[in-house]
Structure 1
Amino acid sequence: MSSKDNMSTSQAGQKGGQKTSQTHDKEFYQNIGSKGGQNSGGNFANDPQRASEAGSKGGQNSSGNFANDPERASEAGSKGGQNSGGNFANDREKASEAGRRGGQNSHSGGRNS
Structure 2
Amino acid sequence: MASRNEENNKKMSVEEAGRKGGEATARNHDKEFYQEIGKKGGEATAENHGEEFYKEIGEKGGNARAEQRDSE
TM score, norm. by length of structure 2: 0.50
- The structure with more helix, counted as a fraction of residues: 2
- The structure whose RCO (Cα within 8 Å, separation 6+) is larger is 2
